[in-house]
Structure 1
Amino acid sequence: MKYTTCSEFAEKSGLSVRRIQQMCRSGEIPGAQKQGHSWRIPADTVLAAGAKGSEPERKLLPVGISNFRLAATNYYYVDKTLLIRDFIDSRPMVSLFTRPRRFGKTLNMDMLRVFFEKTDEDTSVYFRDRKIWQCGSRYTAYQGQYPVIFLSFKDIKCASWEETRGKIARLISLECQRHIELQDSPRLNSYEKEQYALLTKGKADGISYEMSLQLLSLMLHKHYKKETIIIIDEYDTPIQQGHVCGFYPEVVGFMRNFFSGGLKDNPHLAYGFLTGILRVARESIFSGLNNLKIYSILDSTYSEYFGFTEEEVREMLAYYGAEDKFDEVCQWYDGYLFGSTEIFNPWSVTNYISDHCFPKAFWQSTGSNEIVGEIIAAATPEITENLQLLMSGQSITTYIDTSVIYPEVQNHPYSIYSFLLVAGYLRVSAVYPQNDGNFMCDVAIPNKEIFIVYEKEVLNKTQQDGTAVSIQQAIFSSDAEKLQALLEEFMLQSISSFDGANEGFYHGMMLGLCAVLSYRYQVRSNRESGLGRFDIMLFPREKSLPGFIFEFKFAKESNVSLEGLAEQALQQIEEKKYDTEFLDAGIKDVVRIGIAFRGKNAVVKSR
């Protein structure tokens, strides 16, 4: 039998290629066969009358949806309900999940709330067509059986402790109002009802708010005759704000008492769940909490439930008729390794499909990262060099402290790698466990998206103003005159007259300025090519881009001509055939740049 391709059949049928692919998947085209990632259609196939309808109606994409009921009924939902099965199999008293922002923590916590919470509504309807229901009565017996306290701190980003305390009190008040059944419960005594009324109206004193988890769980336990499940989402957001805005001791003091009352030796607690970016175990917030089980990005348990797996991404792309975009999605949004599971950024994949499969950095500016800027501002020369290596596509080996805390930012700049890893700016490519419970890890930048985010949210924090960005633009546009003026302006603002003592200093400065072009280029330094070793090469990641070779010269004496030195640098590039590597790779558009430095002066020549 002769076969035809989807594109050929689409042209003959007057439909789009994606519509034909969808019809093949749904069995609307008899005899269609999958071969690799493509479909083969019998050449003599004729579509039945009415088959040429419009594109099938698909579910909406859940961009920014963290409400489980809504996501599971009205949107395309990636089924993560087996997280419930895995929890029931082990049932630790308190579980802490640490993951980067926008990796599905809030949606998963709301899923747990809807599953376990005892309400007048039959909430099993949200799970009956999900994977957890296929696991049998051993697991479904837990559905709808517990009173639940649910608090999300993800939006508590205030500039002062007074505002923070007020917002936490408001959240507690709203959660109390959600349990209005306690107001007239015959099982509560008058004191408990009075405490409930004060919390609900926002008129309780400071100690009552610190004890509110314990008080509310006690009341729910008495009313339902069942221990309470406590869920706290993004518990460390107020702590980070406290560190950045100067009220760290106050917020940590409150949280220590707040969590101790609810999670430590609380006879009214069934189970507790917390999420955050950092573990912060040494903060003493969880001091003495021996029933806490922590699941970080380095642990294999629950590794597939936060973020999308490869299989889930393939299914999602196929559903929206974009299976041919899988390789592009991998390049832009894959690369994370949680435990032993390869993970895609779910926020970015969803936005990519929603944005008609046009790739860009959707993840940037989705959260507050002043803490990263603070670490980088105090970076040592060694850390700066490692950041440049990362931006050039290389990996580095570093110690990862899974219990790193906020105050260590200023005292221990090495902690930058731990922060960047848990915050999603780095991926682990290899892990070497240490006897202290922490790890030595090979880390690298995960994908194209993070190269761009790295430039805009991380490396640019080290630059004093827009001059450095303008320098990169001048390099990219091969504007020697503009580059010369901007370099002198940059050096005037940022270097000491004692810094420019040798060529190595200027080489390092230029390497740092070129590093943020690394999502377009591989930045290579002091490598052999042709008949010698070039200073810096920008090797394009796509052949449509030009290649760049830099050669630097340095003069200490004032009687030496910088013009002449810059010309010598250009001559050296040509005589030593530094462009050999480009020519071998088929890159013909090569820009050669010679720069001569002295103090805060520079002369740039290019051809």
Structure 2
Amino acid sequence: MKKGIGIGIEDFREVIREDCYYFDKTNYIEELIKDKTKIKLFTRPRRFGKTLNMSTLKYFFDIRNAEENKKLFKDLYIEKSQYFKEQGQYPVIFITLKDTKNNKWEEMLMRTESLISDVYNEFEYIREKLNEKDLIEFEKIWLKKDGANYESALKLLSEYLYKYYQKEVILLIDEYDSPLITANQCGYYKEAINFFRNFFSSALKTNSYLKTGILTGIVQVAKEGIFSGLNNVITYNIFKKDFDTFFGLTQKEVEEALKYFKLEYKIEEVRKWYDGYTFGDKEIYNPWSILNFIKEKELQAYWVNTSDNALIYDNLENSTIDTFNELETLFEGKEIKKEISPFFTFEELSKFDGIWQLMAYNGYLKISKKLDYDEYLLKIPNYEIQTFFRKGFIDKFLVSENQFNPMMRALLEGNIEEFEKRLQNIFLINTSFHDLKGEKVYHSLFLGMLIWLRDRYEVTSEGERGYGRYDALLTPLNKIKPAYVFEFKVSKTIKGLSSKAEEALKQIKERKYDIGLKEKGITKVYRIGIAFKGKNVKVKYEIV
């Protein structure tokens, strides 16, 4: 029987016991043991196997059920390693913070306290060896009594476990930054940072009972004092070569999986859709997408989940014209040059390049090339992320695909009157267009066209042709189809819309923006002038 596909299973023991296909990452247990850094932080995009890998470490090191857990590693890399002697040798605390999200600080704090109480419940058996003072503190946290010291809970538990086992503790904190990202979005960042600064630093900075601490997250939160004074922390981020293939899948791993499930003939299409992330200097595939593809056997966007993209959308909404210009460059498949700091700060999100930091760390852009200190070329990694921009951008900035798609179909069918009607309807429905003054209206519309048509048209803007620069040009990849030349104008009055649209149309003709298209074998060209005023729009056109 073929092994199963454990979609959404993040517990290593369950993956093995349910006989699910497992990408063997246990060679990195050996590397982690050899690496003597006291505290390690791994930052990677979501759904790249962080929780599963942390779970694997838990079952490897945990002194509880050591003999039973040893069986889980049968025939895996680490079983043959000299470092397998470390299996089952340490008390392990494993806590994941990804489920602490909440709209209010009080609710997040309550959820965090319940989570800590649950961790204490795992170790309630050690109470028998605690002295009276320690027992009182343990039960305050475990039973959520008044006066419980949650900020020092992990350090205290480390101490209690050390006294019980006479062995130093391994502390695993998964998705450490999740509550901070949520707090920043929901407006209670100050309260959250004050709590979690103490929560982390007490466990990691002054904890003499700790053997090693391993944390995962999406970003390294800096300048807020989370790791203040922790000179024993090394961050292995998307730029570092060490542990570069610990998270995500290599070309070889993907090829082996496809071969096992008799899908090797799909490798080139799979590469186009899901490859392209760069960690260190390695090309990496998204494991979530690969597993879903193997299960469904269909090429589609599995990784994109709009509920996790709110922070990106919020920053796009407040972005400048320059940001839209650079998005346009990315949608055309080109690279942009940006300074990406290894230290992420929420303060930077309000600055010019904050959105690029966010997209790079979240996996929506890949590091194409390092140019200089903290300066990189960025590009969209693969076709799956293009579909995120295609659907997500249009849904967020152009009402929804249900509105935008019929408008674009009307354009391609040559029904310009219907195109105008649907464009006007989009402006009336979408309140964000009212806030997009002048040029930004054009950029939103054009970017929507760019990503919607990219499979059928070469979409360019502000290119030199004839005696000037057109605003937008759609050149068909199939020359049987028509070309479209656009000029956009902003009218000062609603009454002036029609004359402004005529002016735009006249400009296309007089400045010969469509020159050379017929020579390419394109038999039909639409000249289209569009005028905007607030939520009002007028379209004039002619066919040549």
Is 1:90 the counterpart of 2:90? The answer is no
Tell me the residue number matched to 1:217. 158
Listed one character per residue, the Cα deviations across residues 552-601 of structure 1 (whole Å, up to 9, x for unaligned) are 275977894856964885798797232545x4xxxx79663522436444
Where does 1:288-327 land on structure 2 (aligned, <5 Å)? 288-327=229-268
Where does 1:404-553 land on structure 2 (aligned, <5 Å)? 404-410=344-350, 412-434=351-373, 439-458=374-393, 460-463=395-398, 471-490=407-426, 508=443, 510-517=445-452, 519-520=454-455, 521-527=457-463, 535-539=471-475, 546=481, 548-552=483-487
Where does 1:66-465 land on structure 2 (aligned, <5 Å)? 66-73=10-17, 74-122=19-67, 123-135=69-81, 137=82, 139-185=83-129, 188-203=130-145, 205=147, 208-356=149-297, 358-365=298-305, 368-410=308-350, 412-434=351-373, 439-458=374-393, 460-463=395-398
CA deviation after TM superposition for structure 1 residue 72, in Å: 2.7
CA deviation after TM superposition for structure 1 residue 524, in Å: 1.6
CA deviation after TM superposition for structure 1 residue 133, in Å: 2.0
Is 1:594 the counterpart of 2:528? The answer is yes
Contact 1:102-1:346 within 8 A present in 2 as well? yes
**Distance (whole Å) between structure 2 residues aligned to residue 288 and residue 260 of structure 1:** 8
**Distance (whole Å) between structure 2 residues aligned to residue 555 and residue 121 of structure 1:** 72
Contact 2:329-2:335 within 8 A present in 1 as well? yes
Contact 2:44-2:237 within 8 A present in 1 as well? yes
CA deviation after TM superposition for structure 1 residue 465, in Å: 6.6
Listed one character per residue, the Cα deviations across residues 115-167 of structure 1 (whole Å, up to 9, x for unaligned) are 111013411211231112222x2x11211111011001112211111111111
RMSD of aligned C-alpha atoms?
A: 3.0
Tell me the residue number matched to 1:62. 6
CA deviation after TM superposition for structure 1 residue 302, in Å: 0.8
CA deviation after TM superposition for structure 1 residue 257, in Å: 0.6
Could you say which structure has the larger radius of gyration? 1
**Distance (whole Å) between structure 2 residues aligned to residue 346 and residue 77 of structure 1:** 11
Greater mean alpha carbon deviation, residues 219-228 or residues 505-514: 505-514
Contact 1:551-1:595 within 8 A present in 2 as well? yes
Listed one character per residue, the Cα deviations across residues 508-556 of structure 1 (whole Å, up to 9, x for unaligned) are 4542332332653542224467999754333567x59956422327597
Q: Quick one: which amino acid aligns to residue 309 of structure 2?
A: N
Listed one character per residue, the Cα deviations across residues 461-516 of structure 1 (whole Å, up to 9, x for unaligned) are 3446775565445435543112212334555666679966xxx7876454233233
SS of residue in 1 equivalent to 2:223:
helix
Contact 2:200-2:226 within 8 A present in 1 as well? yes
**Distance (whole Å) between structure 2 residues aligned to residue 247 and residue 505 of structure 1:** 31
Listed one character per residue, the Cα deviations across residues 195-249 of structure 1 (whole Å, up to 9, x for unaligned) are 222222222535x101101110000000000011111100111111111111111
Contact 2:333-2:379 within 8 A present in 1 as well? yes
Contact 2:171-2:210 within 8 A present in 1 as well? yes
Q: Quick one: which amino acid aligns to residue 374 of structure 1?
A: D
Contact 2:470-2:487 within 8 A present in 1 as well? no
Change (3 A) 1:580 1:424: farther
SS of residue in 1 equivalent to 2:293:
helix
SS of residue in 2 equivalent to 1:383:
helix
SS of residue in 2 equivalent to 1:80:
coil
Q: Quick one: which amino acid aligns to residue 134 of structure 1?
A: K
| TM score, norm. by length of structure 2 | 0.89
SS of residue in 2 equivalent to 1:66:
coil
CA deviation after TM superposition for structure 1 residue 292, in Å: 0.6
| TM score, norm. by length of structure 1 | 0.80
Change (3 A) 1:293 1:580: farther
The number of equivalent residue pairs is: 531
Structure 1: gaps of 5 or more residues:
1-56
Change (3 A) 1:547 1:526: farther
CA deviation after TM superposition for structure 1 residue 457, in Å: 3.3
**Distance (whole Å) between structure 1 residues aligned to residue 216 and residue 479 of structure 2:** 44
**Distance (whole Å) between structure 1 residues aligned to residue 378 and residue 410 of structure 2:** 31
SS of residue in 1 equivalent to 2:63:
coil
Q: Quick one: which amino acid aligns to residue 237 of structure 1?
A: S
Change (3 A) 1:496 1:319: closer
SS of residue in 1 equivalent to 2:308:
coil
Contact 1:255-1:285 within 8 A present in 2 as well? yes
Aligned residues with identical type, % of pairs: 32
Structure 2: gaps of 5 or more residues:
none
SS of residue in 2 equivalent to 1:342:
strand
Q: Quick one: which amino acid aligns to residue 475 of structure 1?
A: L
**Distance (whole Å) between structure 2 residues aligned to residue 199 and residue 497 of structure 1:** 50
**Distance (whole Å) between structure 2 residues aligned to residue 145 and residue 482 of structure 1:** 71
Change (3 A) 1:536 1:366: closer
Q: Quick one: which amino acid aligns to residue 90 of structure 1?
A: D
Contact 1:549-1:578 within 8 A present in 2 as well? no
**Distance (whole Å) between structure 1 residues aligned to residue 313 and residue 366 of structure 2:** 19
